[in-house]
Amino acid sequence: MTTWQLAWRLIRDRPWLALLNTVLAIVVAALDLLPGPIAAAFFDRLTGRGTPGFSAETLIAFLLATALARTVLKTNAVLAATLHEFVAGAIVRRNLFDAILARPDGGRAGPSPGETLGHLRDDAAQAARLVGLLCYGVSAILFTAGALALLLRIDAGLTLLVVLPPVAVVAVARRGFARIERYRQESRRAADRVTGALGEWFEAVQAVQLAGAEPHLIAHFRRLNEERRRLTLRDAVLTRALGAVFANSASLGTGLVLLFAARPLRAGSFTIGDFALFVYYLGSVSEFTRFFGGALASYKGAGVSFGRLIGLLRGAGAETLVAPGPLHLTGPLPRIEPPPRRESDRLVRFEAVGLTYRHPGSGRGIEEINLRLRAGEVVAIAGRVGAGKTTLLRALLGQLPAEAGEIRWNGGRVADPATWCVPPRVAYTPQVPRLFSETLRDNILLGLPADEAALTVAVRGAALERDIAALEGVSRRSSGRAARGSPAGRRSGPPPRGCWRAGRSCLCSTTSPARSTWRRSACCGTVSSNNPA
């Protein structure tokens, strides 16, 4: 899909909002046309050249009323445009987030979290900005057409003379748009490298401290940031330079009016009011020229942003990015219902037959794995770092595509492990704990409705009563931010989260000491026996 098609899909998703935005912009443009004829009539009235009609005082009152109406309507037009861009950006972000969560690997095989956040923030905003420009562009075109029609009625030759310079400037400056697109891509990639590095470093603070690598890390960060500064500055300078060229074309047109209107003024065929009308509309026409140039630059930037966002979809169609759907921006949020637990979900036997997966590039992984797990069993898989323990777990869950072999649940073949091995059948606790800056209770529930009895069973099943009690200031209401600062807190969230979501089976990946391994194994065994439903 082209950039225009993607933008049109976003506009069509909320037609009433796009219509409101466009109508308000058109009404404001119509009001912007009025001061020109009123000013022309005013000056002609002062010089005695105007036709009998309104007095100077009445014309001044018209100008004030028009200015007041323009102020009120422009305020509402800006609010409507802001809301429209916000909604368009929210649609893109929601769809992208849904696509990432729907992938078997949960986005781990894509860019770093820092880079992904940059896409969600900057690229989605650039795409939404294009939607706003398209709606505003309708009013800008209508205003310019109306202004040119009035000017042509007064003096066609002078009108063409003052309009040609801005048009020529746009034609020449268009050659710079390809360079803008390239500079924008390079600056965004540099920013992604900075945010990606920051995200990775925050996750590996302890490893950096143990290696004493802080000076090297800071030096590397400075190099990355200097490259980002240089490329962003280059992009900004070129964009501002083209904007200045568009803006100053109005001054060139005004100069031409002064030069070529002198003789008609002396001859009386061109009045002071006509001159005022020309000067007023000339600035507005030149403003449209600047808008048109900026819109072309934004179109190029939006094309870059759409391309980067589509790259995060990992094979999903581009239409996924702009698919319609609810945003729940007003009113209460919809209730999240836990997935239903059916009798067929009860685990009796879980098997892997001939399971094989090799990592691209290195060729390392797992090969011909045969594994059988029964309900109530606690199974620990030990091995050296890099032996393939986590790879095995992720292949069992379908997070990595198996090259050979199959997964069986209660003797039946599982066609798609990625969609089958999910709560409430299976839960997965990764070796790196993930806690959000919310209460420990919310970290376990993750939006699901609370069931105090089941929550207590999950905490007990994870053998975490003492750890929770050890957290400063207590209990299930302790802060996730504070919990992340202590070893007890860091291991208090994920295990009971898995036990809460899937009481039948829980796969755990850990590099922790034996106590933590026992704790997570206890989580599997205890929950399997205490929560058979």
Domain of 359: which CATH number? Answer: 3.40.50.300
13 with 72, same domain: the answer is yes
Query: How does residue 79 score in pLDDT terms, banded at 50, 70 and 90?
Result: very high
pLDDT value at 262 more than 80: no
323 with 463, same domain: the answer is no
Lowest mean pLDDT among 41-45, 472-476, 503-507: 472-476
Q: 528 phi and psi, to 5 degrees?
A: -60, -35
Q: Which of 13-17, 291-295, 431-435 has the highest mean pLDDT?
A: 13-17
Q: Which two tokens stand for residue 14?
A: 């909320």
Q: How many domains does the chain have?
A: 2
42 inside domain? yes
pLDDT value at 303 more than 50: yes
43 with 132, same domain: the answer is yes
DSSP 438-489: SBHHHHHHTTSPP-HHHHHHHHHHTT-HHHHHHSTT-STTSBHHHHTTSHHH
Which residues, in sequence order, are bridge partners of residue 447?
none
Q: Which residue has the tokens 């067929």?
A: 344
Say which residue, 372 or 167, is predicted with more confidence. 372
24 with 117, same domain: the answer is yes
440 with 321, same domain: the answer is no
42 with 104, same domain: the answer is yes
Please give the helix or strand (H or E) that residue 358 lies within, else none. Answer: strand 349-358
**Over the range 292-314, which residues count as b (16 or more CB within 10 Å of their CB) and which as e?**
bbebbbbbbbbbbbbebbbebbe
Q: What confidence tens digit (pLDDT) does each residue in 263-281 have?
A: 777 777 778 888 888 778 7
pLDDT value at 479 more than 50: no
Say which residue, 228 or 168, is predicted with more confidence. 228
For 154-157, the CB contacts below 8 A with 24+ separation are: 154/270, 154/274, 154/277, 154/278, 155/264, 155/270, 155/274, 155/278
Q: Which amino acid, one-letter code, is at 82? A: T
Helix ranges, 398-451 (H) = 417-420, 440-445
Q: pLDDT at position 506, please?
A: 59
pLDDT value at 485 more than 70: no
Q: Is 172 exposed, middle or buried (0-12, 13-18, 19+ CB in 10 A)?
A: exposed
Query: How does residue 483 score in pLDDT terms, banded at 50, 70 and 90?
Result: very low
Please give the helix or strand (H or E) that residue 118 lies within, else none. Answer: helix 113-118
For the chain, the residue count is: 533
503 with 374, same domain: the answer is yes
Say which residue, 469 or 373, is predicted with more confidence. 373
Q: Is the dihedral of CA 275, 278, 280, 286 positive or negative?
A: negative
Say if residues 250 and 166 touch (Cβ distance below 8 Å). yes
421 with 322, same domain: the answer is no
Query: What residue numbers bound the domain in which 2 lies?
Result: 1-144+315-327
387 with 466, same domain: the answer is yes
Q: Which of 268, 301, 327 is the last residue of a domain?
A: 327
| Average pLDDT along the chain | 76
> Is pTM beyond 0.75 here?
no
92 with 5, same domain: the answer is yes
265 inside domain? no
Q: What confidence tens digit (pLDDT) does each residue in 14-56 have?
A: 888 889 989 998 998 888 888 888 888 888 888 776 566 678 8
135 inside domain? yes
322 inside domain? yes
433 with 518, same domain: the answer is yes
322 with 400, same domain: the answer is no
Task: Classify 68 as helix, strand or coil.
Answer: helix
Query: How does residue 226 score in pLDDT terms, banded at 50, 70 and 90?
Result: very high
Q: Which amino acid, one-letter code, is at 418? A: A
262 inside domain? no
Say if residues 509 and 397 touch (Cβ distance below 8 Å). no
